[in-house]
Homo-oligomer: A and B are copies of this chain.
């Protein structure tokens, strides 16, 4: 993350516990206050840490929230449910469950909004959150190919483009359903969505 101190240099080393406490406090504050009313002073207090300690490690609210939210998405796992459709449904449901949590809702969209004016922030979001989710698409496809549900890809560039499209559609639809339409992305919805997605991809190939 930030600390690490490669080859033990001079001075007191940074407290590893502080990082953990700060990120947890950030999520707690997101739940209680939401992004716009979250203040770094409050987070520091909740974490039992001085404001300076926080600023020493993160340059601002956006960066902190990205890291705090990123940890939530690290829980995502690709389940092995036997079929491609079931695997997708499983991972989408997990994604929806995370997005239903107030700390994710509040934080994620806000930093995405901020990232429209801050390239470094967008890059951080991509590295910390998006790319870690994208692996699920690739893994899922590989598993389906192993099962014989999908043919092996012939054109790698085309495969990458399709993976990106899938990712935009899945993540976008779940986010929009959850945040804008404010309806739950429950099993029924996920089943309908997955069916459309898979048929669309199969027929359009």
Binds B, one of A41-49, A75-83, A140-148, A192-200: A192-200
Instruction: Please name the 5 residue pairs, one residue from A and one from B, whose CB atoms are nearest each other, closest first.
Output: A200-B200, A172-B172, A172-B176, A109-B113, A199-B203
Q: List 30 A-B contacts (CB under 8 A).
A: A34-B117, A35-B113, A102-B116, A105-B113, A105-B116, A106-B117, A109-B116, A112-B179, A112-B180, A113-B113, A130-B180, A164-B181, A164-B183, A165-B192, A165-B196, A167-B181, A169-B169, A169-B176, A169-B193, A169-B196, A171-B172, A171-B180, A172-B176, A173-B173, A175-B176, A195-B204, A196-B200, A196-B204, A199-B199, A199-B202
**A168 in contact with B196 (CB, 8 Å):** no
A interface residues, Cβ below 8 angstroms from B: 34-36, 102, 105-106, 108-110, 112-117, 122, 125-126, 130, 161, 164-165, 167-169, 171-177, 179-183, 189, 192-193, 195-204
| Copies held by the complex | 4
A173–B179 touching, CB < 8 Å:
no
Contacts of A169 in B (CB 8 A): 169, 172-173, 176, 193, 196
- Given A106-B116, A169-B176, A169-B193, 15 other A-B contacts at CB below 8 A? A34-B114, A35-B113, A36-B114, A102-B116, A108-B113, A109-B113, A113-B113, A130-B180, A161-B192, A165-B189, A169-B172, A172-B176, A197-B200, A199-B199, A199-B200
Nearest chain B CB to A174's CB is how many angstroms away? 7
